[in-house]
Amino acid sequence: MIRLNQPQSAAVSYVQGPLLVLAGAGSGKTRVITEKISHLIKHDLYPPDRICAVTFTNKAAREMRQRVGENLGKKKGQARGPRISTFHTLGLDIIKREYGGLGLRSGFSIMDAADTLGVLRDVLKKSGPDAVAAAEATQWRISSWKNAMLTPQQAAAQAADPLERAGAHAYELYVRALKAYNAVDFDDLILLPVQFFDQVPERVQEWRDRLGYLLVDEYQDTNLAQYNLLRRLMGDGGAITVVGDDDQSIYAWRGAAPENLKQLSADYPNLKVIKLEQNYRSSVRILRVANKLIANNPHLFEKKLWSGLGEGDVVRVLKARDPADEAQRVVGEIVQSQLLGKGPLSEIAILYRSNFLARPFEQALRGQGVPYVLSGGTSFFDRTEVKDILAYLRLIANPTDDRAFLRIVNVPRREIGTKTLEGLATYAGERHKSLLESSDDLGLAARIAERGARRLQQFADLIERLTETAERKGPIAAVKDLLLDIDYESWLAGQAKDPVAADRAGANVQDLIRWLEKMVSSREDCSLPDLLAQISLLDRLSGEDEDKTDGVRLMTLHSAKGLEFNNVFLVGVEEDQLPHKNSIEGSGLEEERRLMYVGITRAKQRLTITYCNQRKRYGDTLECTPSRFLEELPQDDLRWEGRKEQLTTEERRERGRAAIANLRGLLAGG
């Protein structure tokens, strides 16, 4: 039986109306959510399949499902458990049920970021290295517009300059292309359900009835589109528990609005607020440091974390000459801690503001033979060149895979334009065929331009030849023939930003071939579908395997949110790094302070903060200044390396009392 403190228990049992749980760092918010789900089920307040918990990451959703399962066990006659998913999975469930009302056909594709970049490059009609940057900038702008609930027409009306007007035009063409391809992107998974509910309001009540009771985690990270989706699903009944912490809102760059917490009071005048202020993670000293820092920010809600885990170690501040020295010193301490048997490596984390700061630490760890896990990096199977080749293999194995077709129909560039693909998609939809099958259809030539039809036919012929090779000689032979036929590595070199990037991409292609050869040789009669299924499984599990590896964790402060470690090194704490130089103006500084607050509160027992005197930028050596945030911390709780003897307030008072006593003694003796 899990024991809850009084505020946690109150949050679990309160079902009389809407509830906001203000959950500070390490205060047990996940426990509250999972225990509340169990409470709703055990007391027959809602059937399991009418309870929905929403969070931001698959990992958090998996953890919740596991905990709820442990709490409830297997209940006889229970057909379905509670719905526990991410925002985007919930949105996808809605779209799958309502696709007809959204103008989609069955079997619609979901394009990932790499797929949408390809569509945007076609829309922008650019090629070469400059096309990548242009497509990425446009992709970011369109994502921001979608998260702000703006249509292409609204984006155009609000455009302040020619660049934004061009972006809005690209947005319109992009939306048309997705519709023609019967596809949606990641942002559409939230936007389209909101638009559907506004257009067909009678369907909203059916979904409210289906969901019943709603629980939302990390509410301070919701953007406008997510808020609007939740607001429609919540209705006015108030069968909802929202958990959040405005002090941990660190995603403004992707549209997060901590003000959504405050908006709840306007949406629900009868909103009950319960604060979770007892921290079960960190020492008293670490919390004192965190509280003093975040007190410099304005607050939507006042709270103060406290801990019963003891005073704890002093927080150390180390000065290094440069990044190499910083890395060597941190890694040296890690090696020493291991020699002394101070716990597993997975309980040690090196946290930083930007990814480039990780490089010297990777080098130092490798040099000392210390295992590590780089979190948030690009998976091998997510690299562009790897995904390109795998998309070819997917299409060879399955000619109805429209998503794979769209990814590689112009890789390398075949000058098959958006208008041609729109015509192909319309033709395929009318005949209920795949895009590849329709490319080989005699009737297509009458519907699109002759040049486009000819190039589509050539692409279909290529896939047919590779399919025959795969069937006769196996998947490895098909891959090698593919690379020769399309001269892929030469095309990669032409697309790369520089020779180093080109070499790296070429090496990844060769690594993939070697890996495929190894997989085929280790399995009897390994067909292409078998191989692809194995790759899919490996890719899906890669994030889970990361948790099981005993190695030092290297991650950004954004990636570290929600995690905890015995020993934390917060590195690169300098002006222009933390706070970042692009975020010093306006509310950006407040978010940077919250980011450091998140870093501090990841530590359970020991926290070390480091900064450098010098860093190289673009070939120049620049002098560095310790972050302004360091001066905002309680100095009695810090030990600055290299500074003259530091005394706590109590130590200074004690010395003062001793001096006065000595003086009195001298006077009395005189």
Provide the Cα torsion 353, 356, 358, 360; round to 10°.
Answer: -130
Helices vs. strands in the chain: H and E counts, helices first: 28, 19
Residues designated catalytic: 29-30, 217-218, 248, 602
State whether residue 183 is helix, strand or coil.
strand
Cβ neighbors of 370 (< 8 A, separation 6 or more) are: 331, 334, 335, 338, 345, 551, 552
Cβ 373 vs Cβ 552: under 8 Å: yes
Task: Kindly list the strands in the beta sheet with 213-216, ordered across the sheet, starting from the edge strand earlier in the chain.
Answer: 83-86, 51-55, 213-216, 240-244, 19-23, 272-276
> Over the Cα atoms of the chain, what is R_g?
29
CA distance 395 to 409: 10
For residue 483, how many C-alpha atoms fall within 13 Å in the half-sphere facing its CB?
17
**Which tokens belong to 629?**
């945030």
CA dist 468 to 61, 177, 437, 461, 561, Å? 43, 31, 16, 11, 49
d(CA 201, CA 224): 19
Instruction: Mention every residue, 6+ apart, whose C-beta is less than 8 A from residue 482.
Output: 389, 392, 466, 488
- Say how far apart CA 325 and CA 571 lie, in whole Å: 12
Name residue 213's beta-bridge partners.
51
